[in-house]
Chains A and B, each alone.
Chain A
């Protein structure tokens, strides 16, 4: 009898059904499943462990970066976008300068600088400064923010632009604590 025909034409003598309640048969089935499961368990466990690896490595969120000097930011000039490069190890590659994002800097007065993370708090696209409206605008889902980073009108973003800590260090160097924050929520929560 060709086994391939099995589904087409039921065999004339079906294999005997296992006697119900047969302890031997039950033990055999249980052992079969247990042993088969155990065999697959090892690679599965190893795989899952590696897959979940990123949850246990905690790269530092927030690195202080020097973006410019105070005299590079004239008082009264519109917010200016600075690219942020940090020292970073991307998996196996060590970068002395790795582009990770961008920050808007604006000189508020002689000694104060304001820094906004350029990532939109809605879903992370990069907002741009629009001089014709004096607003920040996200070109993805049209979130708008005023000069101070507050939400304008019916914006999809749940919160205003994220400010970053700024320190003016020796020689007028402007340092910013570059961080990323969770998208789509009201509270400003650093991504960990």
Chain B
């Protein structure tokens, strides 16, 4: 065996290399404060390993990026852990960089003759942030899309060449395939290659000049192997454990709803380590923007570049330490300000909630349909009643109606509703509550309408009077009949949620149907029911069914429905407020139906 290694060493000289690598002199012995450079090298190794496997499963295209990340995250076994490690290690690299920087600063390891090494380090800092920035867009979700849009718009602020630079970065006038291919090539190719070169330079110069010991030395000199390396690996273990814990705690990295340029995203935020810059930009009005986006950050970077030269004077070193502390305080303050503001902002919280629901819904649709159509995940959402219904309700119905007390999207109405709450419309419960003398005049039903508040000189509507005056006097038999009628009427809606109950109660429904026409309650005095004579009240034939709602929404003032008694319900068929596709989505959502395809 020894002969084989001797032969290999004679041919390659590997022992000398290993010795060079491991027997670095550590003056004053191993110390915990020296571990940060190693943890960063370790972090980068982790990013390379996880990144390459992610790369093997990722597809950079406007209709395939989100889709492939969803595939990694939700379909591939262990994919969420892999992506989680990549994501959270990137998050952790920022504090590790800061710790490394602090150690180098405080111990004075940045000064002559180590200036060039320090500059390599600064380069590594910038490269790391650039890799994070370009990686943020790749999942092509709403968050990445809208945050990166801000960044590329900032690029257009570069004097003279800004517009062209932005065009080159985006690759087109609009975001699309070319933006993703570029960002991906930068993230996985150009920037990591530069990173490796800079690390090589950084480590080579570190070895050339040796370690800068923290004075006074507490222990005898030691060797990198195994003394310092042991401590380094303990630190790497802590870093890795933290990352795994974060992955477990957050269930992997977030994947938001797919990027949609036509769907405003009110929770666009950069990753946490850029939140200070994000907050900083709020302070610059109008065209002073360039101070916040370029000039001041540029000057700060220039100052960082000059630090090793200043550090050669004692006062310069003190000044550098002051700048370091001020920088950390500033960074922390701005970051905290940004997060505190978002924490208090109900609009922001609502947007985050909405984005989460959209994301979950897209993943659910993709999974339940065994894949995403070629048009991409956006098409899934665009044709989904559960996604579009609430939005249409909020924009078209929620000026008068509520849905379960809110505007469909969870926000309260600015003014009290003037029309019934439509959650569960047509269900047995809804109809029972409607017929309840105590409830009919509340805002949930007719409490806000002209049926309860007639014009001066008018009377409350016949139906309201029936419920408030006659229903309380119903005999036990009448009450039993009313229940049968309501069950039968509700069955007309053929609600998906009541499918089983309707099938079970066949006889009850048949009785109820007869009672609608025949009983003393005499519904057909005012309501049409499977015949051709319109009454004063709305048609009960297929009441609250998809077809009924479609006709009703087109023209509620039709004789079949409210006729001239229609209060303020608009006729959507007479205007262009809602197209037939939107109407269909809205109705399906109200009724709890899935999409047609």
Residue positions of A touching B, CB distance < 8 A: 2, 4-5, 51-52, 54-55, 57, 59, 61, 68-72, 74, 80-81, 83-85, 88, 90-93, 99-102, 118, 122-128, 130-132, 137, 139-142, 154-159, 172, 180, 182-186, 191-192
Contact = CB atoms under 8 A, between A and B. Distances in A.
A84 B264 CA distance: 12
A93 B62 contact: yes
Interface of B: 13, 16-17, 62-63, 146, 149-150, 153-154, 156-157, 163-164, 167-168, 170-174, 176-178, 260-268, 278, 281-287, 289-290, 293, 347-348, 351, 378, 395, 414, 574-577
Given A4-B13, A99-B260, A182-B156, A125 B150 contact: yes
Contacts of A5: 16
B587 to A, nearest CB: 18
A157 B289 CA distance: 9
Given A85-B262, A183-B157, 9 more contacts: A54-B170, A59-B172, A72-B577, A90-B172, A90-B178, A91-B178, A123-B154, A124-B149, A126-B264
A61 B167 CA distance: 13
A99 B286 contact: no
Sort A-B residue pairs by CB-CB distance and give the 8 closest, nearest first: A126-B264, A72-B576, A99-B262, A69-B576, A83-B262, A90-B176, A71-B575, A183-B153
B153 A123 contact: yes
Contact of B289 (A57, A71, A131, A158): A158
A130 B164 CA distance: 35
Contacts of B287: 158, 184-186
A141 B173 contact: no
Nearest to A159: B286
B266 A59 contact: no
A102 B264 contact: yes
Contact of B262 (A52, A55, A84, A159): A84
A182 to B, nearest CB: 6
A183 to B, nearest CB: 4
A91 B153 contact: no
B177 A126 contact: no
A55 B167 CA distance: 7
B282 A61 contact: no
B261 A99 contact: yes
B150 A124 contact: yes
Nearest to A126: B264
A133 B542 CA distance: 43
A91 B177 contact: yes
A91 B266 contact: no
A50 to B, nearest CB: 11
A102 B262 contact: yes
Contacts of B286: 156-159, 186
A2 B176 CA distance: 54
B290 to A, nearest CB: 8
A100 B149 contact: no
23 contacts: A5-B16, A54-B167, A54-B171, A69-B575, A71-B577, A74-B577, A81-B395, A90-B172, A99-B260, A99-B263, A101-B261, A102-B262, A125-B268, A126-B146, A126-B264, A139-B268, A155-B285, A156-B281, A156-B285, A158-B287, A158-B289, A180-B173, A184-B289
Contact of A71 (B149, B281, B574): B574
Contact of B174 (A51, A85, A100): A100
Contacts, number: 150
A80 B395 contact: yes
Nearest to A127: B264
A141 B281 contact: yes
Contacts of B164: 55
Nearest to B16: A4
Contacts of A127: 264
A134 to B, nearest CB: 11
B177 A61 contact: no
Contact of B266 (A61, A99, A100, A126): A126
A124 B577 CA distance: 28
B295 to A, nearest CB: 13
Contacts of A69: 575-576
A51 B262 contact: no
B266 A128 contact: yes
B289 A142 contact: no
B579 to A, nearest CB: 9
Contacts of B263: 83, 99, 102
A191 B152 CA distance: 13
Contacts of A52: 168
A74 B153 CA distance: 35
Contacts of B13: 2, 4
Contacts of A74: 577
B150 A182 contact: no
Contacts of B63: 93
Given A99-B378, A131-B414, A123 B150 contact: yes
A54 B414 contact: no
A93 B64 CA distance: 12
Nearest to B157: A184
Nearest to A185: B287
B576 A59 contact: no
Contacts of B174: 59, 88, 90, 100, 180
Nearest to B577: A72
Contacts of B176: 90-91, 93
Contacts of A126: 146, 264-266
A51 B228 CA distance: 46
